[in-house]
Amino acid sequence: MNLDFKGRVAIVTGAGGGLGRQHALALAARGAKVVVNDLGGARDGSGGSLSAAESVVAEIRSAGGEAIANGASVTDFEAVQAMVQQAVDTWGRVDILVNNAGILRDKSFAKMEIADFRTVVDVHLMGAVHCCKAVWPHMTEQKYGRILMTTSSSGLYGNFGQSNYGAAKLALVGLMQTLALEGAKNNIHVNSLAPTAATRMTEGLMPEAVLAALKPEAVVPAMLVLVSEGAPTRTTLCAGAGSVEAAHITLTQGAWIGLDANAPETLAANLRQVLARAGDMVPESGAAQGSQEVTRALAQLGGR
């Protein structure tokens, strides 16, 4: 696997600090030309300033790399399109998109305002949709692209007080699944990364000793692999504190319940078998679920 990014052009959103900054610095250090995007807002998404992005650009340039700053909000599709055009006008192409921009507005679901739910979904999910949509025609034309979604354990497994964040983060995995299928013929690989890192987003959520062990730099190797020329596709890696794991959405072997009036009772009696993990699989696409169900149904009904 080649982890040399010379000649590649990367866009990293939310790259003015924390994990995004580390992603931008690492890509630039390995030869990529980088658009450092950051709205410069607070953790809840309010405010805005280009100074954070410009600071990271200065770091990259001082180390001998190439970078430009961009302050577009990922929630503004026209601004995102202009950002992608800025990359193309400057360097002639765009090869890598790291969707990293995000905000937090944590509260228990009972206390959460709908506006706070919608805003978090707009930034994380629609922000990634906007960026993917803007780079897609360029990647399709050049028949090369690497896109990374930043998901989260809160989306994969849930976390108290983060219903908005968790919903948006798992939605990104669903977006990855389909974009990876649609992009395959044009060598566009789409993956997801669930980081555990001490950043502005996690301040106050964990003890200081734990945060000290979770340096953002520890997540970077997984990012580099997932956007490299030899990257897999439809892969979700989890990374933090020096460890890397893979997360999968699997389908169990299940059981045939039938269609008669007693089907609910039959399901209740066989629920343990339906939930059993032995022999579970990672489907190649959503069609696998229906295929398994129809195949089993035909076998059962054909035997009568």
- Kindly provide the residue ranges of all beta strands, DSSP E only, lying in 73-169, ordered along the sequence: 96-99, 145-150
Rounded CA-CA distance 37/30 in Å is 19
Residue among 264, 266, 256, 236 at smallest CA distance from 248 = 236
144 is annotated as an active-site residue: no
User: Would you state the structure tokens that stand for residue 300, as one six-digit string?
Assistant: 């059962």
Beta pairing, strands 67-70 & 33-37: parallel
Beta pairing, strands 96-99 & 236-240: unpaired
Using an 8 Å Cβ cutoff, are 97 and 11 in contact? yes
Buried b (16+ CB within 10 A) or exposed e, 127-156: bbbbbbebbbebbbeeebbbbbbbbbbbbb
Q: Point out the catalytic residue in the list 40, 149, 165, 195.
A: 165
User: Would you state the structure tokens that stand for residue 243, as one six-digit string?
Assistant: 């460890």
Rounded CA-CA distance 52/266 in Å is 59
Using an 8 Å Cβ cutoff, are 57 and 69 in contact? yes
Using an 8 Å Cβ cutoff, are 181 and 285 in contact? yes
Cα distances from 96 to residues 153, 278, 280, in angstroms, run 23, 37, 33
Catalytic residues: 165
